[in-house]
Chains A and B, each alone.
Chain A
């Protein structure tokens, strides 16, 4: 029982970080029907940036998010300008898959040349400290990572709920055509949305870099998880992504402790397939004709 509770706590903490990574992915899909396969590479890029700021200038990796996120936002808007916008009119989803895939490769290539392929990890002073709460040991860094994820996610949902930009986004997600008719500047919304999507990835990357060792190739493992999360949650649904990420985190962690880590992602994938067969639109997705 002690083990089970410990596993659940751990799963929730790590699920929060996955939720942050996945939020950008699902947001981008919601706005422009683009699956950003480079999301994992963006997380790793964020991890490297925060690693560099920490090891050369000594900026705390969690504080460095404040610096990295705006830079990555600009990068996202740039990528959208050059690659994504050029494609949208001409062809559909499959080409965006290819473009973002090539972007991921390019990022991996640049990181390999800049940093070599050695494994890195960011180790601030608190990286290996832990607290004992009610007899359960929780690593400080995971709590910080979780809290930061929750803060950013809350800010994101406030942004979507309360601002003019947020209303434009929600209108675009629900019905792109009528949003356009109502005077929403689709291009601007897409560019900003893509930028925000990328900067959440970067923020999550800074946290990821403290918890796990990483190298330029780490994005392959990440993206498969992130894709599963957003599909399970329902493509385009922010809340769905959060719930699915927590499910993934807790599920994997519990299976790992109770059965074996060899089967933990297997179990998750099977659950994913079963759910999608009965609910192809995911847990919180809206079923639109032809869209799913």
Chain B
């Protein structure tokens, strides 16, 4: 009886002893021949596991490429990737462990703003630079943390701006008169469509439909029924990936085909978009993106070649490129400041512009990138950059043809 009762105490003592033992066996200090350890938390399960897998490919490809070329400052690069199960508690634990227990030299970001935001705070507390591929939602810049560097050309809210600029550049007779905005309630989705809507309304395009739908929406037919009823010339979807597919599938089965269709996410996925909605239906759909396979950005050709060599042929998820770009930027900044000192890295990154497969990036004091995304369109079954003209590989084709069915 008493043994059972004291079980709790005994276990606690044993646990404390274990923790103590773990603390006392710290590693010795690294010398200059030791590898540079970069800590990253990604989601192997849960909501963010899908894009996390793409990010992992990009990070690992970069590490492999760098090591093959002699590493950084003569030191090999070693990634320590841990799982956060898509949970904010675990992501905080992971960056705590990476920084204060395993004493990694550098950290890179996880996937999604929802996890990047708490993780950035942990990194900030210990003075670590937080170079991150995927945390570009609004809340993350609210806290005015100076250690954040979002490695994409533009903050997420502005990723529809390039589309708005293109539409407003059209001659008056080609411009749409009415617009509809289905928006996913998500920090990466609705705000994009809202930014476009404000620009369009200011330019006199009437809003005839606006609907925010929740993340767990599986039923898009009701939304599309209503959208088709309003019948706007242009549909700007503030979407994430799964709902973008659902929305388009419903538009196809409801036979509603607007003259212009832009989706903030989903349509820029070269693999899954044709796969999910049918390859014959993709033409004429617009998307925005931070990176494309054919882009002439610094190091992109090498990246694409290395990717295909490592992971086989087939389209590349832009998240892989974003993660790879984090590595490129680290490499550049470390060579410039000649040290792994996070304070110096942060100071240096706030100056000038930095070349990567994501283009030449520069950041304001809270880590918002200062560039502009690319507008892409499905033309002839392929995803092609069409705007701005400086990076376009083809002219936009309008209006969108009807669904093939």
Contacts and interface: CB of A to CB of B under 8 A. Distances in A.
A130 interface: yes
Contacts of A94: none
B216 A119 contact: no
B144 interface: no
Nearest to A261: B213
A119 B219 contact: no
A55 to B, nearest CB: 11
B229 interface: yes
Contact of B219 (A2, A108, A123, A252): A252
Interface string A16-37: 0000000000000000000000
B222 A253 contact: yes
B213 A262 contact: yes
Interface in A65-113: 108-109, 112
Nearest to A140: B253
Given A7-B225, A257-B222, A128 B50 contact: no
B219 A130 contact: no
Given A128-B249, A130-B253, A261 B50 contact: no
B222 A261 contact: yes
- Prevailing SS type, chain A contact patch: helix
Nearest to A112: B45
B217 A261 contact: yes
A137 B214 contact: no
A189 interface: no
Interface stretch (B125-133, B239-247, B304-312): B239-247
Contacts of A118: 50, 53, 272
Contacts of A7: 222, 225
Interface in A123-145: 123, 127-130, 137, 139
Interface residues of B, number: 34
Contacts of B34: none
A119 B222 contact: no
Contacts, number: 92
B49 interface: yes
Contacts of B105: none
B215 to A, nearest CB: 9
B381 interface: no
Contact of B405 (A129, A213, A215): A129
Contacts of A288: none
A138 to B, nearest CB: 9
Contacts of B255: 130, 137
Given A7-B222, A119-B50, A213-B242, A261 B214 contact: yes
A128 B278 contact: yes
Contact of A10 (B53, B216, B221): B221
A6 interface: yes
Interface residues of A, number: 34
A130 B222 contact: no
A265 B252 CA distance: 25
Contacts of A265: 214, 216
Contacts of B222: 7, 10, 253, 256-257, 261
B254 interface: yes
Nearest to B49: A117
Contact of A119 (B46, B53, B217, B241): B241
A213 B245 CA distance: 8
A257 B227 CA distance: 10
A6 B226 CA distance: 10
Given A7-B222, A10-B222, A261-B223, A212 B216 contact: no
B22 interface: no
Contacts of A137: 253-255
Contacts of A256: 213, 219, 222-223
Contacts of B226: 3, 257
Interface string A49-77: 00000000000000000000000000000
Contacts of B212: 260-262
A200 B254 CA distance: 29
Interface of A: 2-3, 6-7, 10, 14, 108-109, 112, 116-119, 121, 123, 127-130, 137, 139, 212-213, 215, 217, 221, 252-253, 256-257, 260-262, 265
18 contacts: A2-B229, A10-B221, A116-B49, A117-B45, A119-B245, A127-B249, A128-B253, A137-B254, A139-B221, A139-B253, A212-B246, A213-B242, A213-B246, A221-B216, A253-B222, A256-B219, A262-B185, A265-B216
Given A3-B229, A130-B255, A212-B218, 19 more contacts: A3-B226, A6-B225, A7-B225, A14-B219, A116-B50, A117-B50, A128-B253, A128-B278, A128-B405, A129-B253, A137-B253, A137-B255, A252-B219, A253-B222, A260-B213, A261-B214, A261-B219, A262-B212, A262-B213
Sorted nearest first, the 3 A-B pairs with minimum C-beta distance are: A261-B213, A117-B49, A256-B222
